[in-house]
Structures are given as structure tokens and as C-alpha cells.
Amino acid sequence: MLKDLQKAIVKSQVWKSIFRVGIPTDNRKRAMAMLGNVVLHLHPIKVKKSGLRMSYTWCMGGTAFFLFLVETITGLLLMFYYRPTVEYAYFDMVDLREVAAFGIMREMHRWAAHAMVIAVWLHMFRVFMTGSYKPPREFNWNVGVILLVLTLLLSFTGYLLPWDQLAIWAITVGSNMARATPLLGHEGPGAALLQLGGTKLIHVGSDARFGLIAGRTIGGGTLIRFYVLHCVAIPFVAAFLIAVHFWRVRRDGGISGPV
């Protein structure tokens, strides 16, 4: 009976309108399945057997991308609850933990973020160890380096949002570095050179750190700035570069392998 039901569904007009090919049974259909699906067509129709091996790829690039998707979904759900203001932020976290349905989203978001940082490092390590940055893949290695930086920035901006002691002091330590930026930080080398008629251009209220945290100390301005960076700006750039990264993997001859 189940078989009949399955047959009926697969043969229905609705099903056929969505999945044009159906379960592939021959090579032509295997190719069609890859070409006809917007997600699957990221892949080529055929791949090198050596590049399929888990011991070769460690699956780390895919893991990093999957974790990026997990972060996007759990992050979206968290945005329904979380208000990025000094009054509400912390107590919204408490609510997420104590009363919100699917409050586990916060745990998933945090642990997946940590795992994503490690996955991106290991992906880079694998690419290095197999020499896959060598021509013709030099440019894609660079896109990858920028994606690595973006991953760290995503994690760093997200670290502030719970607005607890752990958050603001970690960001304080991190952002304090910016005040020592050469030329642009008020305690950085060369900043004193930037003067106009005896007026300092770079001071505690105008330097790189001020621009980063929107104030002289971490406060409500920092929170909204990091929130927008974390939820909109950096994910947008990262998503674009991920697309470039995948595109270039295909253009540069697919997964690397011995020539």
C-alpha cells in the first residue's frame, strides 16, 4: 500500500512540477538532477574520486558552510526575541534561557559559532597541507583568507550581544587594541603627528577605537553598532564572498587534485 501511495505522489502533477527529474536511475538523469536544482548545481556533474575522500578534504569547508547556515537560521530565530538596547539585551537573554520556546537556539548559535571558527582554521590547514593554494587557485585562497577574517569578526561582534560581564569585558579587551593603531589610534605611534595648528586630530573622542565602539567606552552605541554589523553587514559580505569562493572552486578546475 505504501508503495502505491509513493507512486501516486511521485506521479502527481504537483510533485513533477517541483522535481522534474525524479529519483535518478541512469547517468543521464544523474546529470539532469544536478543541473535542474538550484542548490545542487553548485556542484559539477562529476567529481574526482580522490576529491571525494573524507581523508583528503576532511569535510571542513563543507562543515564551515553548513555551520554558517546553522548560524543564519538560529540567528534569525534569535532576532525575534532579542532587542539590542542596554535596557533589554541582558534580560532578553535571561528570557531566552528561562521561558522562550526553542531557547536552545542560543546554545546552538553559540556552540556552532565556536565550531565554525575551528572548522575554518582546519579547512585552511587542509588546503595548505595539500598545496591547494598553488596556481591556479591563488585568488581563491585569498578569498578564503578574507572569509576567515570575516568569521572571526562575526564571532567577535556577536560576543558583545548577551550584554553580560563576559561580553563587555571581552570586547573591551579586544577593542582597546584599536586605540594603539598606528596614526589612527590616540595611543598609537604617529598619532601625535596628525595635528592642525596645534589641535590634535586624533584624540580619545575621534580615533579608531571611537569609530569601532561608537563612544569612549562600551555602551548602548556599541551594542547597536555591533548588532547591525553582526546581523546584517558582515553576513552580507560573507555570503557574497562565499558565493565567489564556490564559483572560483568550479572555475579553477573543481576540487584540487594532482595534475
CB of 229 to another protein, least distance (A): 15
Residue 2 to residues 6, 8, 11, 214, 252, Cα–Cα distance (Å): 6, 10, 14, 62, 46
CB of 197 to another protein, least distance (A): 20
Report 178-207 residues binding another protein (CB under 8 A): 178-182, 185, 187-193
Stretch of 2-10, 60-68, 227-235, 238-246 lying at the interface with another protein (CB under 8 A): 60-68
CB neighbours of residue 258 within 10 Å: 7
Residues numbered 11-40 forming contacts with another protein, rule: CB under 8 A: 24, 27, 30-31, 33-34, 40
Q: Tell me phi and psi for residue 100, to 5 degrees.
A: -65, 140
Shortest gap between Cβ of 200 and another protein (angstroms)? 13
In 3D space, the residue among 61, 168, 198 whose CA is nearest the CA of residue 120 turns out to be: 61
Question: Cα(26)–Cα(33) distance, rounded to whole angstroms?
Answer: 11
Cα–Cα distance, 259 to 248 (Å, whole number):
18
For the bound state, the minimum distance from the C-beta of residue 61 to another protein, rounded and expressed in Å, comes to 11
Interface positions, 215-234, toward another protein (CB under 8 A): 217-219
Long-range Cβ contacts of 215-221 (<8 Å, 24+ apart): 217/172, 218/160, 218/168, 218/171, 218/172, 218/175, 219/86, 220/85, 220/86
Residues facing 196 on adjacent strands: 199
Residues numbered 135 to 174 that lie near another protein (CB under 8 A) are 135, 137-138, 141-142, 145, 148-149, 152, 155-156, 159, 162-170, 172-174
Of 11-19, 177-185, 227-235, 244-252: span binding another protein (CB under 8 A): 177-185
Do residues 212 and 175 lie in contact, with contact meaning Cβ atoms separated by under 8 Å?
yes
- Please, which of residues 101-130 interact with another protein by CB under 8 A? 104, 106-108, 110-112, 114-115, 117-118, 121-122, 124-126, 128-130
CB of 62 to another protein, least distance (A): 6
Question: Site for another protein (CB under 8 A): how many residues?
Answer: 101
Q: Which is nearer to another protein, 90 or 246 (CB)?
A: 90
Least gap, CB of 124 to another protein (angstroms): 8
In the block, residue with C-alpha cell 578546475: 253
Residue placing its CB nearer to another protein in the complex, 8 or 107: 107
